[in-house]
Amino acid sequence: MSQRIPVIEGLFAERSDGPRLIGSRCTTCATPYFPKSPVCHNPGCDQSKMEDAAFGPTGVLFSFAVQNYPPPPPAKYDEPYRPYAVGMVDLPEGLRVLGRIATDDFSQLRGGLPVHLIVDRMYHDSEGNEVVTWQFRPAPVLAQADDRRMKP
C-alpha cells in the first residue's frame, strides 16, 4: 500500500501543533542552523555549544522564482511536469530558508508576504509512495489583489 514518506528523514517533523523544521542552535552565540549542525560555524563565536531546535511555522517571503522548466537530477518530479515556485523565506528565528512556495497563483507572490510552513507532496516514488517535503504557503490574509504585480 502506498505511504506518505518524507523526502529525506530528519529534516522536518509534523507535530500536533503544526510542522517544524528540525535544526539546531548554538547556545553561546544564538546562531540557528538548518539542517542540524554538529558545530557552530560562526567565526565570531568562541565556544560551540549546540542544542536541538525546531523552526517555524511562520515566515516572510524574501524573494521567489518559478521553475518553469524541469530541473536536472537529482531533483525529482511527477510527469507531466508542472512549474512550481521556489523562494527564500526569512524566519523570525533568524534563518533564511530555501523552499518551495506552495501556490499555483505566482502573481500574488512578492517580497514581504507572510507565509507559513506546511508539509506537502513533491512527487511519487517508484513504489507509488507520496514523497513529501517542507514548503511555505502564502498566508491567505494578504493574498489580495495588487495591480503592480508582474505576470509570471
Interface positions with another protein (CB under 8 A): 7-11, 23, 31-35, 41-44, 62-69, 71-77, 84, 86-88, 90-91, 94-100, 106, 110-111, 122, 133-134, 150, 152
Asked if residue 88 lies in contact with residue 102, where contact means CB atoms within 8 angstroms, the answer is: no
Beta bridge partners of 119: 134
Tell me how far, at minimum, the Cβ of 128 lies from another protein, in Å: 18
Tell me how far, at minimum, the Cβ of 93 lies from another protein, in Å: 9
Q: Please classify residue 110 by burial: count the beta carbons closer than 10 Å to its beta carbon, then call 0-12 exposed, 13-18 middle and 19+ buried.
A: middle
Pick the closer one to another protein by CB: 8 or 142: 8
Tell me how far, at minimum, the Cβ of 3 lies from another protein, in Å: 18
- Report CA Rg, the chain: 17
Pick the closer one to another protein by CB: 133 or 139: 133
Q: Is 111 helix (H, G, I), strand (E, B) or coil?
A: coil
